[in-house]
Amino acid sequence: GCPEGTRHGAQTLLKILAGDEYVLDNVCAGWVELLVAELLHVHPTVKAFSNRAWMIEMSTLCIQCKNGGRMGPLEELLLAVFDLDVQEVVRLSSCYLGAWFTAHLTEPAAAV
């Protein structure tokens, strides 16, 4: 037979691939990791950026699950990006990331 550790690891892997939300919550360390796992394994057909309201809601749920609902600078910035709130992204970037980043913020956006 198969060693117990290997069997448990294989079962966990299969549950992750099947989108078992309980297992995903237990194996993901942070809310961003949980959000990506949810998008890949639970909701693989959702086009996140074409459904911004859903993306913000899912992000908020992941933040509540992993951060107890606490919003730090990263959370605020990513939610503003998901909401396409340019003014808020610039404001938060200048507060937390400095003038250089804010000055060059438009370069990646222009490339899209």
Euclidean distance between CA atoms 38 and 59, whole angstroms? 10
pLDDT number for residue 14: 93
pLDDT number for residue 109: 65
pLDDT (tens, 9 = 90+) of the chain, 112 residues, equals: 778 888 899 999 999 999 999 999 999 999 999 999 999 999 888 887 678 888 899 999 999 999 888 889 889 998 998 888 989 988 998 888 888 887 887 777 666 6
Euclidean distance between CA atoms 65 and 51, whole angstroms? 21
In the numeric block, the tokens 């913020």 are attached to 105
